[in-house]
Amino acid sequence: MKGILDSLVRKGIDKARQSKYLQSVFEKPIALDELPLKGVFVDSFGNEHHLLEGLRTYVKPKWRQGISGVRKEITPEMINTFKLNGEIAVNRLLTTLDAENIDLSASKVMEVGCHSGGCSFSIAEAGAKSVTATEFTGFKVSAHTTGVTEDRLADVDDYLATIRQQLAARFSSREKVEFVNDDICNSVVPDASHDVICSWDVLEHIHDPAKAIAEMSRILKPGGLIVHEYNSFFSLNGGHSKCTLDFVWGHARLSVEDFERYIDEFRPEEKDMAMSFFTNGLNRMTRAQLIQHLKAADFEILSIIPYSREQHARMVSGEVLAQVRNLYPDAQLADLVAPRTLVIAKKVG
């Protein structure tokens, strides 16, 4: 009986996925006109922005958790989640490497922004020759507060070390992974030492992406591959929890000065973390700039795949795009409607 029920459920899911009507419902734009008006903000260019109650929750459902400032307790459930998320991300990486005829078993892999190490351990478990797992503790502190101290840096290091120690116990190939505290914009990793460099949700946070990409080129062997998946600043949810405002694409439509004035007026209790993240935690790299950086660093671009959302495309307006371009002339519609982008490039030589 259970087998029959499982079969019916699977068929129902398959039909739902194929239904254009259901797809249209799921991709329906947020009904902005149904959200209560909570205020009005006028920026320095004279643009009037209507602030909507509840919009932040639509865009970033877990934003309260993101701004709480309360460190999560390390639990078995947390470790299981890091392991599962790492395995899911690495499965996507393996598909890319296979498509590009990269032999993982002969590859030295470097992960930028490894955090828990879940992806790095999973890469090792999948058969990599070795994995260099890098994380820049200085960023993790400066992007969230103006009070960067040695004690805070040490505290973050200790917290991550505990997570990694517990996570490592779940992987038989853990000895292949080496953790390094490293700023990819000024890396200590040797020249021509790796075959693959990868990251997930990191590229949008690097303070100098041009320099970081040049460093990746230096670190890679000739013919080496970079594979990065990231959440662009210009996407609807590109402000993350701390900088998503109460009008669509607000973080990309306001200058730094206007953003600070907005926070002072509407979220003064969040100012330290919001301003730190807005100025230190998010770069403003457009797709066009990414292409320039890759070419300047002697990369052959194999694919830049924007995972666009119909919902976002149906919400963006000419006014929104014009205001974004007023601040960032290189920004294109594709930057605004793709919450995730996959970049694959090969070092020439």
How far from 90 is each of 101, 122, 130, 184, CA to CA, in Å? 16, 7, 15, 21
Using alpha carbons only, what angle is made at residue 347 by residues 346 and 349, rounded to the nearest 5 degrees? 125
The H-or-E segment that residue 194 falls in is: strand 194-200
Q: Are 299 and 15 in contact (CB under 8 A)?
A: no
Using alpha carbons only, what angle is made at residue 243 by residues 241 and 249, rounded to the nearest 5 degrees? 105
How far from 270 is each of 41, 183, 257, CA to CA, in Å? 17, 27, 16
> For 182-286, where are the alpha helices, taking DSSP H only?
209-219, 240-243, 250-253, 256-266, 271-276
pLDDT score at 3: 52
* Fold adopted by 63-347: Rossmann fold (3.40.50)
CA trace torsion 304, 310, 312, 313 (10° rounding): 80
Residue 325 CB contacts under 8 Å (≥ 6 apart), including other chains:
331
Query: What six digits make up the tokens of 25?
Result: 């419902």
Q: How far is the C-alpha of 305 from the C-alpha of 303, rounded, in Å?
A: 6
DSSP of 256-320: HHHHHHHHHHH-GGGHHHHHHIIIII-----HHHHHHHHHHTTEEEEEEEEE--HHHHTT--HHH
DSSP structural state of residue 76: H
Q: How far is the C-alpha of 346 from the C-alpha of 223, rounded, in Å?
A: 6
* Number of residues written out for the chain: 349
Nearest in space to 329 (alpha carbons), one of 278, 280, 289, 281? 289
Nearest in space to 246 (alpha carbons), one of 4, 19, 50? 50
Nearest in space to 130 (alpha carbons), one of 173, 92, 97? 173
Please report the sign of the dihedral spanned by the C-alpha atoms of residue 33, residue 310, residue 279, residue 136.
Answer: positive
DSSP-based three-state secondary structure for 82: helix
Q: How far is the C-alpha of 265 from the C-alpha of 50, rounded, in Å?
A: 14
Given a cut of 50, the residues of the chain with pLDDT beneath it are 1-2, 5, 8-9, 11-13, 15-26
Nearest in space to 347 (alpha carbons), one of 185, 226, 242, 200? 226
Q: How far is the C-alpha of 244 from the C-alpha of 251, rounded, in Å?
A: 6
